[in-house]
Chains A and B, each alone.
Chain A
Amino acid sequence: MATAETTASAAPRPAGAAAPAAATFRIWRGQANAGSFADFNATISEGMVVLDVVHQIQATQAPDLAVRWNCKAGKCGSCSAEINGQPKLMCMTRLNTLDLTQPVTVEPMRTFPHVRDLVTDVSWNFRVKQRIAPFHPKPAGADGVWRESQADVDRPQEFRKCIECFLCQDVCHVLREHNKFAEFIGPRFLIHIAQLEMNPLDDGNRLAALKDDFNIGYCNITKCCTKVCPEGIAITDNAIIPLKERVVDEFYDPVRRLFRVFR
């Protein structure tokens, strides 16, 4: 069991927990952008997360309150929202990390078209992935087995932890402020390309597409995406910057250009 010393900063956890308290949740309601905040009172008990509150309100006050969720364990990436203005997974946001003396605002991700209440239309993301050349394997060894060292796959495995919650897309300025949905693919799909390009078994090449079709140059590495990633993936440092370097090496390196001229 945790001792008081090891969990000094967190809420008290052991048996005989704190008595239920109340808090106000200010939740966005409405359809297709014609919405407004509505206040709900919630009963709070130990260990609750924001998604618990949304479910409680559904069951007791607003049966039609729309929310998208699946696993409630931080593994599927369905319940993305903006909580007190911060992009987060509702299922992984503990109430003891929020100031409950003030109303807690819960809004849908603002970068995507609104459907209803907390639900947005994220289908653009699925269309983007369709445009990216899929994995294409190198031939296997003579015995039909691919061999690669763990050290070589550590990096692409980091990117494959992505749960497609699209919170990084939600905060990306290129999408959120500049609406470059037609030209840019956002951090989610830059790490998707990174895991393909850095997979030792893949023999595809997506660098030209990164430069011309997906405009990786639009990213000015403000690292907002990295800050909100619930999986802690170093999106900017480990994926986007190395990809930018590869694009530069491939298309703008003067020595390489010279080589190409004389080839």
Chain B
Amino acid sequence: MPGYDVHEYDVLVVGAGGAGLRAAIEASAAGVRVGVVTKSLLGKAHTVMAEGGMAAAMGNVDDRDNWRVHFADTMRGGQYLNNWRMAELHAREAPERVRELEAWGAIFDRTPDGRILQRNFGGHRYPRLAHVGDRTGLEMIRTLQDHGIHQGMQVHMETTLLCLLLSGGRCVGGFGYDRERGRYHLFLAKAVVLATGGIGRAFQITSNSWEYTGDGQTLAYLAGAEMRDMEFVQFHPTGMIWPPSVRGILVTEGVRGEGGVLKNNQGKRFMFDDVPENYRSSTADNPEEGWRYTQGDKNARRPPELLTRDHVARCIRREVRAGRGSPHGGVFLDIAWIKEKLPNSVEHIKKKLPSMYHQFKQLADLDITREPMEIGPTTHYFMGGIQVDGDTQMTSVPGLFAAGECAAGLHGANRLGGNSLSDLLVFGQRAGEHAAAFARRQQPETPGAVQDQIHAAIARAEAPFERGPGGESPYAIQHALQEIMQNWVGIVRTEEELQRALEAIADLRHRAERVGVGGNREYNPGWHTALDLESLLTVSELVARAGLERRESRGGHFRDDFPGKDDNWAKVNLVLRRGPDGRPESRSVPVPPLPEELRQAIEENK
């Protein structure tokens, strides 16, 4: 059996995106030894792709904003299935987390009086997103990276965990491998923070990078942790759709925030046709008012293009299905039209949306300052994930924490744009603080106590080599899974399709047991793909399973056979865990009643 290197830490952070780095910085500041394991190189995590900004009620652009409004917006966006304690902490603490980034070297765009500029975004009542053009994620990850490397943490780049290690009912570390040399590594830790991001790679069309294979959710689930809200997947309304090789790449909501409009092939702004009841009073009913809103008029209401993502995505799908779509099966997103309003529109668009200009010019031969873009929905974000305590971010497994996209609760049934980057900071910080505090109370574990788990992990990881290149192709299984999830567990679902998906996933599991690869362990993508299958299949099964149970439509979960909201489901979260027979067990858990102060915050912002 191959050997392994041993590393000992107080806190092991898994993932080096926004949440992981923020957790690692906080734990380091608490004076404990911190190790960071990251699947890619430092600074390349999916956070880098976030565009629009981070939501924080700083009130720099509109001083009517405050945490209570942000809280109410987040709860309404999440259809009140949010963990309200997380929504409260997030709204209260986000401004401080943004200021902290500035103290670490981030350079945000500025207001005329020199403060951090904030922009409009879907579902947010006031301009709230601190941003840097349309590359806010890059600014955030680079700031955390450049600050973090001087805080004493040890970073293991291009390293992936195969399993978490348990001893005496608590999490005591993880076991994994590095890509470059293919060596195995044992990480013993007194506390582990999962910050591994989402699951987009389970779908064909996604804005997510390859790393989003649901590793953290699967590691936690297999370690016995509870999962929640697994049915809620966010399909971002605007992804590129043409040419085929760029299908899914994100087109930031910032395009609509800057005045971009959605049109069908008849040139009609179809979003005015379908405004949900609970947003009607805050939505513009004519194009002129919508335009004034995007230009900062405080008396104007937001255009319907800035309704929540789940709603906009379904409206686009409706237009396409009704034969009113664009040539390649989407609709048109037009920012070029603002030349009617702004004499310097070309420069303005390039300044406000530089990455979008660049992306379309280079990948689609299209100049967004002159022509409309063709866009369609793309798998973007996972609201569900690991159930955590709102204050500490600890999971139901002692010593195991989770933060960022892999954790669930803050966003409920649907996430508002801009609430993700602030989520990473607020709960990354909290996870780091509480993981460090937990670690201080624990004794270290010895390799001997987890020997069996290590041997089992190595045996599983070596198995594809033993079957060799004649086995099932890992790529073929991955592609088949992506097709199943895209077609049957996508933006619109039915009982029959979800059942079919679960059967197909079970078949793929059998095929995955026969997967084989050639070559050796050194930087072997075939092997990496084979090892990722476990996570992809596990999260896919849980998403389909939860989707089957929620027999209604809400937020990021739409059932064609139950297209309306059902009051019985309005205040219930679905919680899944691994049963004794290895199959998922589910139970519905009522949302706890809101404290009076929070209830009032929602009432006064209705």
Contacts and interface: CB of A to CB of B under 8 A. Distances in A.
B496 interface: no
Interface string A18-57: 0000000000000100000000000001111100100000
A72 B519 CA distance: 26
Majority SS at the chain A contact face: loop
Interface stretch (A4-12, A216-224, A250-258): A4-12
Contacts of B523: 66, 115-117, 119
Contacts of A137: 102-103, 105
Interface string B506-533: 0000000000011100111111010000
Which secondary structure dominates chain B's binding surface?
loop
Contact of A64 (B359, B362, B365, B519): B519
Nearest to A126: B42
A70 B135 CA distance: 16
**Size band of the interface chain B makes with A:** 35 or more
A199 B102 CA distance: 11
A58 B474 CA distance: 11
Contacts of A67: 525
Contacts of A31: 522
A211 interface: no
Contacts of B110: 148-150, 153
A134 interface: yes
B40 A78 contact: yes
Interface string B465-495: 0000100011110010000000000000000
Interface stretch (B119-127, B143-151, B275-283): B143-151
Contacts of B202: none
Contact of A72 (B209, B327, B473, B517): B209
A52 to B, nearest CB: 5
Contacts of B245: 45, 47-49, 52
B207 to A, nearest CB: 8
B107 A129 contact: no
A13 B180 contact: no
A157 B107 contact: yes
Given A135-B104, A147-B113, A202-B105, A77 B44 contact: yes
A135 B46 contact: no
B525 A66 contact: yes
B516 to A, nearest CB: 9
Contacts of B362: 74, 92, 94
A2 interface: yes
A148 B106 CA distance: 13
A116 B520 CA distance: 11
A4 B210 CA distance: 35
A66 to B, nearest CB: 4
Contacts of B99: 144
B525 A64 contact: yes
Interface in B95-140: 99, 102-105, 107, 109-110, 113-115, 117, 132-133, 135, 137-139
B209 A10 contact: no
Contact of A163 (B104, B138, B209, B476): B138
A199 B105 contact: yes
Interface string B64-76: 0000000000000
Given A58-B525, A78-B41, A150-B109, A134 B146 contact: yes
Given A121-B180, A135-B104, A145-B115, A74 B359 contact: yes
B526 A2 contact: no
Given A92-B363, A196-B105, A59 B209 contact: no
A71 interface: yes
B11 interface: no
A146 B364 contact: no
A148 B210 CA distance: 38
Given A78-B41, A129-B149, A134-B150, 14 more contacts: A10-B365, A45-B245, A47-B364, A63-B529, A70-B45, A73-B249, A73-B250, A74-B358, A75-B135, A76-B209, A115-B180, A146-B102, A146-B114, A157-B109
Q: Which 7 A-B pairs have the closest CB atoms?
A: A47-B243, A135-B105, A147-B114, A63-B526, A64-B519, A59-B475, A10-B365
27 contacts: A1-B371, A2-B366, A6-B371, A17-B243, A31-B522, A47-B244, A47-B245, A52-B245, A58-B525, A63-B469, A63-B475, A63-B518, A63-B529, A71-B48, A74-B362, A75-B138, A76-B43, A121-B180, A126-B157, A135-B146, A137-B102, A137-B105, A144-B99, A160-B107, A162-B142, A199-B105, A199-B107
